Structure 1
Amino acid sequence: MDSVLPLRHTIADGLRTQITTGRLKAGERLPSEPSLAAQYKVSTTTLRNALALLQAEGLIEKVHGKGNFVRHPLRRLTYTRGRLTSDADLRVTIRTTNLLARGDLISLLGVPSRTPLTEFLCLTHQGERPHSLARIYVPRDLASAQLPWRRSGVEESRDQIRARPPTPEEASSLRISSTLAVLSITRVSIDNTGRVVEAALLFLPGDRAEALFITHHTANAKGQEG
C-alpha cells in the first residue's frame, strides 16, 4: 500500500513548487495563514507546521506583525581554515566589552577565574540581513595589541563544530526561526608557548553555511627509501 504524506508535507510541497518555479517571487508576501488554511482545507496549526518546514529550508521567513514572505536567495558562508569566506558584500559591526573570566570561559581559555578578558561581539550583515554572529574572547593584555582576526604568532588552532537549535538570543540576533539549526563552531587558538590567545564562538545559520575541511598528506620519507 502506498504511504500517504502528512498534510503539512503536501502543503509545503505545493508552496515550494510555487517558489522554485517563480510563481511566488522573492520578497512577495504569502496569503494570510487563515486564507491558506481555508485554501488547503486544513487547520491553522497544520498550515503553520507546513510553513515551518519551508522556514527551516530558508525558503520563507515570518516577519512579526506583517506575515510570511518568500526569502531572497541567500549567499553562502564557507568556513575553511579558521576563516569565513563569502562571495557577498558583507559588513561587520563590532561591539567591544571588558569582562572577567567566568564559567566555561575559564576552561576554554585556560585562565584563572576573574582573569580580565575582552569580548568582541561581531555581527555580520549582507545588506540589512544578519548573516553570522561571533563572540571572540581574548586575554585583555593581548586585546589592545590587534584585532583578533589579525592576530599573529598562532601555532595551533582547534575547531569543534556541531549543529544544534539556536538559543533565543541567537535566533533573535540572526533573525531566524527557532526551528532552523545553526552551525556552532568553537575555535581555540594557541601560541608557541602553549598559551591560549583567543577563543572564538561562531554561530552560522544552517541554511547558508558550510564547513570545508582540507587535509594535507605528507609522504613518509622512510617508507620511500629502498
Structure 2
Amino acid sequence: MRSRHSDIADDLRQQITTGRIQPGERLPSEADLADQYKVSTVTLRRALAVLQGEGLVEKIHGKGNFARHPHRKILYVGGWGTLDPRTAAEPASRVTVRSNIVQAQAHLTTLLKVPLGSPIVEITCISHDGESPRGLARIYMPRDLVPAGVLDDDSTCRDAATRFAVLTPPPAALREAVCARPPTPDELSTLRLGPASVVLSITRIATDSTGRVIEATLLAFPGDRVDAVFTTHHVTDERKTQG
C-alpha cells in the first residue's frame, strides 16, 4: 500500500513537470499544503523531502519552498583542472570569488606538505546557475608561491579562479582523487542541498618539477549538476619500440 506522502509527492511532481507550477514559483506554505492535502505537516514535509532529493523543489530558509529550474550541467575536465569554458561561461552563470590568508592547520599541512602554522592563501569560489549554487572550490597555495595578482583583482587570475582552474604556472604533475560522498555541513549550506544529497568530490594536487606541492584544490559539486570527463593517454615504451 502506497504511503500518503508518496501520493502527495506524485501530485506535486506532476504539477511541476507539466508546468502548472512554474520554475522559480513559490509553493504554498507548508501549513496551507498540509491543509489542502488533509495531512499533518510531518507527512507533508516528507513529501517535499522526496521532491527536494529529486531536485524539483528547493527550500530556501526564511522564504519557503520553490519549484526549481531544470538543472544545466557543467563539465569538469579532468587532467586540465578546469571547468569546460562552454558550460562555465553560460549567460546565467556567475562565480563569486573571495581570498584571504590563513595558517596551515591539520588537513592543509598534509595536502600542501608544509609546516603547521605556515601562511596559506585560500581562495573560495562558488559557481551559480541563476540563484542556484552548483559548485564549490577551495584553492590553497603556500604564500610564497602565489602568483602576482592573485590577491588583487587581476583579471587573468580571477578568470582562472572562476573556471576553478589551476592558478599557478603549468604544473609538472596534476593528481586528482574523485569520490561520491555525503556533503559536509558547510557544503549542505553553501550548495543548498537536501539531506539525502550526494556530492562529487575532487581533490586536486598540483606539483612542480621538484615534486613540491604548489596548489591544492578541494572541489564539491552536487551530484546531479556536473559531469566529469577524464582522458587517459597511452604512453608508449620507447625502449620496446626501438628494440
8 Å contact 2:16–2:22 — kept in the other structure?
yes
Quickly say closer, same or farther: Cα 1:159–1:5, change in 2 above 3 A: farther
Instruction: Judge which range, 47-56 or 11-20, deviates more.
Output: 11-20
Which amino acid in structure 2 is aligned with residue 56 of structure 1?
G
Quickly say closer, same or farther: Cα 1:223–1:6, change in 2 above 3 A: farther
In structure 1, the partner of 2:58 is 61
8 Å contact 1:92–1:123 — kept in the other structure?
yes
Mapping 1:43-192, distance limit 5 Å? 43-81=40-78, 82-85=81-84, 86=87, 88-89=90-91, 90-145=93-148, 147=157, 149-192=166-209
CA-based RMSD of the aligned residues comes to 2.5
In structure 1, the partner of 2:13 is 16
Instruction: Judge which range, 169-178 or 216-225, deviates more.
Output: 216-225
CA distance in 2, matches of 1:38, 1:101: 53
Quickly say closer, same or farther: Cα 1:91–1:149, change in 2 above 3 A: farther
* Percent identical residues: 52
What TM-score, normalized by structure 2, do the two folds share?
Answer: 0.80
More strand by share: 1
What TM-score, normalized by structure 1, do the two folds share?
Answer: 0.86
In structure 2, the partner of 1:27 is 24
8 Å contact 1:168–1:178 — kept in the other structure?
no
8 Å contact 1:153–1:192 — kept in the other structure?
no
Deviation at 1:22, TM superposition (A): 1.4
Instruction: Judge which range, 182-191 or 145-154, deviates more.
Output: 145-154
> How many residues in Structure 1 have an aligned counterpart in Structure 2?
223
Structure 1 unmatched runs, 5+: none
The answer to whether structure 1 residue 194 and structure 2 residue 211 are counterparts is yes
In structure 2, the partner of 1:5 is 2
Deviation at 1:224, TM superposition (A): 7.9
CA distance in 1, matches of 2:215, 2:183: 23
Cα deviations across residues 23-67 of structure 1 (Å, max 9, x unaligned)?
A: 211122222223322333332112111111111111111123332
Structure 2 unmatched runs, 5+: 151-156, 158-164
